[in-house]
Chains A and B, each alone.
Chain A
Amino acid sequence: MRARRAEGPSGAAGPVPGPVPGPVPGPAPALVPGPAPALVPVPVAAPARAATASARAALRPVGAVRPLVALVAAALLLVGCGGRATTHHKPGTSHQEATGSSGTLLAARDEDGHRLRELPAADAPTVRVEARPDSEGGWNVHLTVERFRFTPESTGGAALPGRGHARLLVDGRETARLYGPWGYVPPGAHTLTVRLHADDHTVWAVAGAPVQATVRLGATPATAAPSSAPAASASAPPSTAPTDPGRTVTLAITGTTVQPPPSRIELKKGERLTLRITGDRADTVHVHGYDRELPLSPGTPATLTLTVDRTGLFEVETHESGLVLTQLVVR
């Protein structure tokens, strides 16, 4: 039940445009380092990075060229940054750059009214989602994105390709945003859709469809299995609610004797199990493999509920007295 994957509208493998600042529109200056550094105006769409790099290169010759440097700086100020000031923007978030090649804004909107932003499939981000049941209920969600970076720091800024955030839609309703690859969906959910948004909240889209992935969060936890182990006093209501305690196994410890004696509880992967344990002394019960612990106080029953989501043979043991109480056989 782990690894349920779903593919979003993924593009064919192509060159991965990293989160580089978009090309600079408008006339931008560039310096050509040479014996006589000269100002060469470069036409539209010269990479801004090249401009700064060559500016750095040009700043190296000191002394004789100092007046020239001043001239260059002045020119940069005048030409490159004329009009709109960009210094208070974080790199890559200036309004000016944002209007570059960040796809085409479509008229279509998603359910929540966000407009779609179309990119060619080769440049568009992709997302895959994987949900694993959490041992306390609910789901741990993991996104695998390509050509995409989570940029919580620039949310609200302009749309740049390969940047933005993800939104979780549980059963069609938006419940949370993700600013990183991991998230959590509380129990009760049936389907989860993860959609990639740009920094300006528009939805990244390919061929008119949002870049998203959907995964069914199956109702598999707590499928009541027949009780085969003699130790189990099974009481499994056939409900699929994640709060369902599943199989219940009652154990009592007296001295070094466990009643019923250690046996194997056969469980299906994904099933829920409740251990109800009464000890005659203070101790801690440890479920190996799941690393769940349960403090015991003398004479008082303590309960522990877990979802068995790993296959194998696991021992339930007390820490202080080192007794094996029972074994879980998860298939």
Chain B
Amino acid sequence: MTAVAPAHAAAPAHAEPLWLPLAHGVGSQRDLPLSPFYAYAGAFTALLVSFLALGLLWSSSRFRGDLSGRPLPAALQRLADAPATRTALRLLGVAAAVLFLFHLLLGPDDPDRNPAPGALYVLLWVGLVPASLLLGPVWRLLNPLRALHALRPPRNPRPLPAALGIRPAAAGLLLFTWLELVAPDNTSTTTLLTALAVHIAVQLLGAARYGDRWFAHADPFEAYSSLLARLSPLGRRADGRLVLRSPFHGLDSTPHTPGLVATVCVLLGSTAYDGLSDNPRWITTLQTSSLGPVPTATLGLLAAVALAASCYGLCAGALRLMNPALTTPLTSFAHSLLPIALGYLVAHYFSLLVTEGPRTVILAGGTDNAPSPAPPLGPGGLATLQVVAIVTGHVLGVVAAHDRSVRLFPPARAVAGQLPLFALMIAYTLGGIGLLIA
């Protein structure tokens, strides 16, 4: 825009540019910090609901997981399961991927003029949240890598190691959030192409060895979308019928795969780090750290994930102490953290989706240097939405955990047994609200 010519002329001691990453990859605006009123209102509601839930909720388990649900009309199911529908979705995914690659390879190296970074960080990463909540595990159906894999499926794929679970996907999610929140220059086409090449190589090599089951366990976006889809009213019953059901039943049917805790902790920790990275004190720490900003930010992200995980570990340990009969304290309650993670995601990414999402689509439509549209909610509306999202996530989590604990614990200990979980959820929720104030 304005004169940038003599920029390299006099660069004395600090010659290397720091390139502090913009959080979220794209977008020039962040959400306003919450005013204390909203924060206190949210925190109070969360506490109140938790204690009411302890006393008032049912005393025998009600959720039936994937056995429940009202079947959709057979015609709708036939349409959804028709090979033509599946092929069309697959082709849609391939077309979108080709368009993305085309922009990445030939488009300008400038996130203001190239829709590719927005397509990845906003349309895919954030857009998968509402899409999965409404329609179920959509990325499974769209994933262009599955289409690529279907061209040459392996003749005799090996069975996946049972201990693997969705751990590769958790690692992939951590890498992706690192790319989004920490990586320097994370909107440049070179960075994105490198990341894409690594992703494609890992996925296709894994799938060549283990068959297409690999994607469900290792593709970070599939795991993310499938986990969020547990909260969708649209689901599939154990007998294969497409059903409408309460999200609680879907949540209850979350499989206890190894790596579930890790995935949820990555989601919680990375979103928390996203909130932290707005904080001026953290920015000062990054800029003055002797390690350099990127290693410091990486440590910060890892620390946030580790903190979320260790809180959960502590809670699981306490559960086990109070209930020696509970053999799998870690995985038994991991599903109840999903709504909390979802609340964090909505609170942090809503305005990004509604401002940068349309801008990305406009850019992809060929408009150069499109302005981002004004946010649809005023500061008060947005603050309300953020607090409501976090508190709703908390409430859903509390209810899910309560139902699970009355199923697993003997009735005499059911109420006391879930106290550690409640403490954990309150900590997560207050922490989430605290990060929105900061």
A311 touches B32 (CB 8 A): yes
A284 touches B2 (CB 8 A): yes
What is the minimal beta-carbon distance from A220 to any residue of chain B, in angstroms?
17
B378 touches A311 (CB 8 A): yes
Interface centre among A289, A297, A311 (most CB of B within 10 A): A311
List which B1-23 residues lie within 8 A (CB) of chain A.
1-4, 6-14, 17-20, 22
A314 touches B14 (CB 8 A): no
Q: Known: A291-B28, A312-B375, A323-B20. Contact between A262 and B14, CB under 8 A?
A: no
A293 touches B2 (CB 8 A): yes
Q: Please list 13 pairs of residues, one from A and one from B, whose beta carbons are closer than 8 Å in the complex, sorted by A's number.
A: A257-B288, A262-B280, A264-B280, A282-B7, A282-B9, A282-B10, A288-B22, A313-B30, A313-B278, A314-B30, A315-B30, A319-B7, A327-B278
What is the minimal beta-carbon distance from A138 to any residue of chain B, in angstroms?
19
Q: In the complex, what distance in Å separates the CA atom of A314 from the CA atom of B28?
A: 7
B287 at the interface (CB under 8 A from A): yes
List which A263-282 residues lie within 8 A (CB) of chain B.
263-264, 280-282
A17 at the interface (CB under 8 A from B): no
B4 touches A284 (CB 8 A): yes
The 7 closest A-B pairs by CB, nearest first: A288-B28, A322-B18, A313-B30, A312-B29, A322-B19, A262-B280, A322-B20
A284 touches B7 (CB 8 A): yes
B109 at the interface (CB under 8 A from A): no
What is the minimal beta-carbon distance from B290 to any residue of chain A, in angstroms?
10
A262 touches B284 (CB 8 A): yes
Q: Known: A313-B30, A320-B7, A329-B32. Contact between A255 and B2, CB under 8 A?
A: no
A331 touches B32 (CB 8 A): yes
A310 at the interface (CB under 8 A from B): yes
Chain B 78-114 near chain A by CB (<8 Å), digits 1 or 0: 0000000000000000000000000000000000000
Extra 15 A-B pairs, beta carbons < 8 Å, given A295-B4, A311-B378: A255-B13, A255-B14, A261-B284, A262-B280, A262-B284, A264-B280, A281-B12, A282-B9, A310-B29, A311-B379, A312-B32, A313-B278, A315-B30, A319-B4, A323-B287
List which B374-410 residues lie within 8 A (CB) of chain A.
374-375, 378-379
B153 at the interface (CB under 8 A from A): no
Q: In the complex, what distance in Å separates the CA atom of A205 from the CA atom of B278?
A: 55
B18 touches A321 (CB 8 A): yes
Residue of A261, A289, A320, A331 near B29 (CB, 8 A) is A289
A282 touches B14 (CB 8 A): no
B283 at the interface (CB under 8 A from A): yes
B33 at the interface (CB under 8 A from A): yes
Q: With CB as the reference atom, state the residue of chain A lying closest to B284.
A: A261
Q: With CB as the reference atom, state the residue of chain A lying closest to B3.
A: A295
Number of A-B contacts (CB under 8 A): 102
Which interface class (under 10, 10 to 19, 20 to 34, 35 or more) fits A? 35 or more
Interface centre among B9, B11, B280, B375 (most CB of A within 10 A): B280
* Residues of A in contact with B (beta carbons under 8 Å apart): 2, 255-258, 261-264, 280-284, 288-289, 291, 293-295, 297-298, 310-315, 317, 319-324, 326-327, 329-331
Q: With CB as the reference atom, state the residue of chain A lying closest to B31.
A: A313
Q: With CB as the reference atom, state the residue of chain B lying closest to A331.
A: B379
A329 touches B33 (CB 8 A): yes
What is the minimal beta-carbon distance from A139 to any residue of chain B, in angstroms?
17
Q: With CB as the reference atom, state the residue of chain B lying closest to A269.
A: B379
User: Which residues on the A side are within 8 Å of B374 (C-beta)?
Assistant: 2, 310
User: Which residues on the B side are within 8 Å of A293 (C-beta)?
Assistant: 1-2
A281 touches B30 (CB 8 A): no
User: Which residues on the B side are within 8 Å of A322 (C-beta)?
Assistant: 17-20, 293
B283 touches A281 (CB 8 A): no
Q: In the complex, what distance in Å separates the CA atom of A2 from the CA atom of B375?
A: 13
B32 touches A313 (CB 8 A): yes
What is the minimal beta-carbon distance from B6 to any residue of chain A, in angstroms?
5
What is the minimal beta-carbon distance from A223 to any residue of chain B, in angstroms?
17
Q: With CB as the reference atom, state the residue of chain A lying closest to B351.
A: A312
Q: In the complex, what distance in Å separates the CA atom of A262 from the CA atom of B282?
A: 9
Q: In the complex, what distance in Å separates the CA atom of A315 from the CA atom of B18?
A: 16
User: Which residues on the A side are within 8 Å of B3 (C-beta)?
Assistant: 284, 295
What is the minimal beta-carbon distance from B372 to any residue of chain A, in angstroms?
9
Residue of B7, B12, B17, B283 near A324 (CB, 8 A) is B283
B280 touches A280 (CB 8 A): no
Q: In the complex, what distance in Å separates the CA atom of A297 from the CA atom of B5?
A: 11
User: Which residues on the B side are within 8 Å of A319 (C-beta)?
Assistant: 4, 7
Q: In the complex, what distance in Å separates the CA atom of A330 from the CA atom of B31?
A: 10
